[in-house]
Structure 1
Amino acid sequence: MREEKKQEKQLSDKEILSLQEKDFRLLMLKMMQDIGNKLEAKMDNLQETLTKEIQDIKLKQEEMQNTITEIKNSLEAANSRIQEAEERISEVEDRLVEITDAEQKREKRLKTNEESLRELWDNVKRTNIRIIGVPEGEEREKGTEKIFQEIIAENFPNMGKEPLTQIQEAQRVPYKINPRRNTPRHILIKLTKIKDKEKILKAAREKKQVTYKGTPIRLSADFSAETLQARREWHDILNVMKGKNLQPRLLYPARLSFRFEGEIKTFTDKQKLREFSNTKPALQQILKELL
């Protein structure tokens, strides 16, 4: 059989042409069968290869689909967390606004209460005069009220002839002596009428130097600690304005008054004065290092 195939393969073109029709047909039939078998084998191999490749592609496609699904799930979870975080942030911001508003209202109420308390305390003190610099012990023999009367007689003799309102209270303050302080305690005089207090303090300002037994002392109004601090904050501005002949005055309880451009201006705090000076270049130049 092998020899026949070998012989068929070895047939030359001349030999093939010399074959009888029957043998030629048999030869062609065998050759076509061989070609068909080879094609079938190749088709089988190709189909097997394609099937395997298709399976690989489907497997990879499935893996990619799983990966896409995982990524999608991760993104959805991340978006959900982001949305949840944004909602929490929004809630916190809203709560912060509420807390801030509540705190501002609380601070405003506290400031209002403090101002009301300061005004009340200043009203209580409004008829008071503080005497500063009288040595300790002077009141033991004559009493603090007598010391006040002697100061009036020594410094304002004409006023001493006029009847003054009654003295409601006269005492050293604070009540106890602080051994660590070298200066004498103040004497606090409480009068019954504001006009008498203002008359005495005006006379003291005009005299410029008040004495007790020849020793310099000071007479001043009595204020709460907050009002006293507010008045002190005007000190440098008052001095500068005096130098510029603006006729500054410190009004009760802590308002600054001065003459500018022919008008009397009054301010309760530095912020309002700063806002006004920003519209007046000349005044702004005068106060540029003080506001």
Structure 2
Amino acid sequence: MLKLHIEMDAKLTDLEGRSRRENIRIHGVKEGSEDDAPSMVGFVERLLRHKLELPESAEVRVERVHRALVPKPPPNAAPRSIVAKMASYRTKEEILKLAWQKHGFEYLGNKVNLDHDYAPEVLKQRKEYAEVKSVLKEKKIRFQTPFPAKMRVFYPEGPVLYGSVEEAASDLAKRGFPVTVIKCPETIMEQIRHLMWHTTRKTRGQMSKDRTQDYKEKLQAFRRQEQE
């Protein structure tokens, strides 16, 4: 059962990631900046071309654009991000590379940054590296975070690639860095409890009561099997 849940979660995350393959997420553009533009698509195309100083010959074709699908924030709050689907994966990668080289740009007094449009599960996993990243930045040690949620750290003696935040935190702690060691679930029951909590948290507000009850019943059945 545990293996099935893990495989299904991985497949769903992979499918969602593929559907976002050509997307760029733009953070920091003030709410309403696009109101005077003829279209949201045209606004984003002009913004990218002008702020990234792209030549006229460069292709910047956006197919669809929308603000993040959450309620509009109050005036002084951070603006919703903009999700733009580019015409091709290659165009998207070239624009992101250029934006990262420039470390973003200023627009109407706000710092604007571009990134991949990660699936929620991948984004959650990447955010778990926050403490590790903070420690590495403080120690001025270069690192990268390859897709989907890995970390490559460039130590003086050579680079090391970690497959999870648990692995990264554990190794950094052994090297003497002040990080919190995250314990991986060891027993089958711990893994199931972790998976159930993770799934419920991930879909909070979306998962129906029937599905929640289904998970509880499966856990109870598993416990009965252990006792028999």
Q: Tell me the TM-score normalised to structure 2 length.
A: 0.67
State the one-letter code of the partner of 2:4: R
| C-alpha RMSD of matched pairs (Å) | 2.6
State whether structure 2 residue 25 is matched by structure 1 residue 134: no
Aligned-partner SS, 1:161? coil
- How far apart, in 2, do the equivalents of 1:277 and 1:135 lie? 40
CA contact (8 A) 2:125 2:149 kept: yes
Could you list the structure 1 runs, at least 4 aligned residues long, displaced by more than 6 angstroms after superposition. none
Q: Which structure shows the higher helix fraction? A: 1
1:97 corresponds to: none
Equivalent residues in 2 for 1:137-286, closer than 5 Å = 138-139=34-35, 141-157=37-53, 159-164=54-59, 166-174=61-69, 178=71, 181-182=73-74, 183-274=78-169, 276-277=171-172, 281=174, 283=175, 285-286=176-177
For residues 77-97 of structure 1, give each alpha carbon's deviation from its aligned partner in whole angstroms, at most 9, with x where no partner exists.
Answer: xxxxxxxxxxxxxxxxxxxxx
- How far apart, in 2, do the equivalents of 1:242 and 1:171 lie? 33
- How far apart, in 1, do the equivalents of 2:109 and 2:141 lie? 34
**Offset at residue 204 of structure 1 (A):** 2.3
Q: 1:269 to 1:185 in 2, by over 3 A?
A: same
- How far apart, in 2, do the equivalents of 1:234 and 1:286 lie? 14
2:209 corresponds to: none
What count of residue pairs does the alignment treat as equivalent?
Answer: 178
1:53 corresponds to: none
State the one-letter code of the partner of 2:71: N
Between 1 and 2, higher relative CO (CA 8 Å, sep ≥ 6) is seen in 2
Aligned-partner SS, 1:120? helix
Aligned-partner SS, 2:17? helix
CA contact (8 A) 1:237 1:287 kept: no
1:4 corresponds to: none
2:203 corresponds to: none
CA contact (8 A) 1:152 1:160 kept: no
**Offset at residue 197 of structure 1 (A):** 2.0
CA contact (8 A) 2:104 2:114 kept: no
- How far apart, in 1, do the equivalents of 2:165 and 2:80 lie? 32
2:211 corresponds to: none
% same residue: 19
- How far apart, in 2, do the equivalents of 1:214 and 1:151 lie? 14
CA contact (8 A) 2:60 2:91 kept: yes
Aligned-partner SS, 1:164? coil
> What residue ranges of structure 2 are gaps of 5+ in the alignment?
183-228
Answer with 221-230 or 234-243: which moved more.
Answer: 234-243
> What residue ranges of structure 1 are gaps of 5+ in the alignment?
1-105
- How far apart, in 2, do the equivalents of 1:275 and 1:290 lie? 5
Q: 1:257 to 1:162 in 2, by over 3 A?
A: farther
